[in-house]
Structure 1
Amino acid sequence: MKKTFTKVVKSVSKTRPLLAHVHYTNDRIELTDSHVAIIEELKTPLENSFDILINLEGVPSVAHYPELKRIVPTDNENRFVIDIPMLEAITKINKKEQFLKLESDGTINGQKVGEFERLEGFEYIAFSPKYVLWLLEYAKESGQKEHITIELNDSAVKPAVVHFEQPETLNTFVITPIRLRDDQI
């Protein structure tokens, strides 16, 4: 199992026990801590249908897991190409801060972390450094070392999405933003 999976599941094991599982079906693997979600869809679903939750100890559970595919935004028009090493450096420097604010000029704290491929109405979005580090770790586990493209809405409160294509899966990483107060904007 990927290290990022373990971090996400462990982060909610005591506070939200239902989410402290990995959800397996014949066509996907998914997990969430309610701030990030990872969905790995099989390109070729397995023939036999199944639906099971397994915790980190490998123990199955009988519970209804949330339908994560419904939270994946499909209308994120803005595309931002992130320089992974630069974003990782900025995030590590600021990991104790409450949030990282990505501006429409492609900067965080005045440092350029990428370029917009497409920009329409986007002003800013803020994320927890912890979740940005999880995204970067997942990107590396998925073979992305230099760049990833994050899809953003023009709203600072709608989730952002990164897609990763693997030989056997189509993977989606959803990250929810932090709402900023007026004095933080």
Structure 2
Amino acid sequence: MKKTFTKIVKAVTKTRPLLGHVHYTNERIELTDSHVAIIEELKTPLENSFDILINLNGVPSVAHYPELKRLVPTDNKNIFVIDIPILETIAKINKKESYIKLESDGTISGQKVGEFEQLDGFEYIAFNPKYVLWLLEYAKESGQKEHITIELDDSAVIPAVVHFEQPETLNTFIITPIRLRDDQI
């Protein structure tokens, strides 16, 4: 199991036991802590149908897991290419802060972290640095070392999405933004 999977599941095992599992079906593997979610869809689903939750100790559960595919925004119009090393440095420096805010000029705290390929009404979005670090760790586990492309809505409250294509899976990482107060904007 990927390190990022373990971190996400561990983060909620005690506080939200249902989410403290990895959900396996013949079509996908998925998990969430309610702030981030990972969905790895098999390009070729397995023939025999199954649906099982397994916790970090390998113990199966019969609980009903939330339907994560419905959380994936499909109309995020803003496409931002992130420089992984720069964003990772900024997220690590600010990991004790409550949020980092990406501005429409491609900066966080005045530091350029990437370029918009497509910009349509986007002003800003804020994320918890811990979840940004999880995203970057997952990106590296998925073979992305330099850049990732994140899809953003023009609203600062719609989750952002990053897609990763692997030889056998199409992977989606969803990260929810933090709502900022007027004095934080």
The alignment yields a C-alpha RMSD, in angstroms, of: 0.3
> Counterpart of 2:136?
136
Deviation at 1:67, TM superposition (A): 0.2
Q: Given residue 45 of structure 1, which amino acid in structure 2 is its aligned partner?
A: P
Deviation at 1:107, TM superposition (A): 0.2
Which residues of 2 match residues 20-35 of structure 1 at below 5 A? 20-35=20-35
Which residues of 2 match residues 137-152 of structure 1 at below 5 A? 137-152=137-152
Matched, 1:119 2:119: yes
Q: Percent identity?
A: 88
Three-state SS of the structure 1 residue aligned to 2:39 is strand
Q: Could you list the runs of 5+ residues in structure 1 that have no partner in the other structure?
A: none
> Counterpart of 1:5?
5
> Counterpart of 1:161?
161
Deviation at 1:106, TM superposition (A): 0.1
Q: Could you list the runs of 5+ residues in structure 2 that have no partner in the other structure?
A: none
> Counterpart of 1:84?
84
> Counterpart of 1:174?
174
Three-state SS of the structure 1 residue aligned to 2:64 is coil
Deviation at 1:28, TM superposition (A): 0.1
Moved over 2 A (4+): none
Report the TM-score when normalising by structure 2: 1.00
Three-state SS of the structure 1 residue aligned to 2:12 is coil
> Counterpart of 2:14?
14
Deviations 1:120-139 (A, max 9, x none): 00000000000000000000
Report the TM-score when normalising by structure 1: 1.00
Deviation at 1:6, TM superposition (A): 0.2
> Counterpart of 2:59?
59
2-structure distance, mates of 1:108, 1:92: 13
Aligned residues: 185
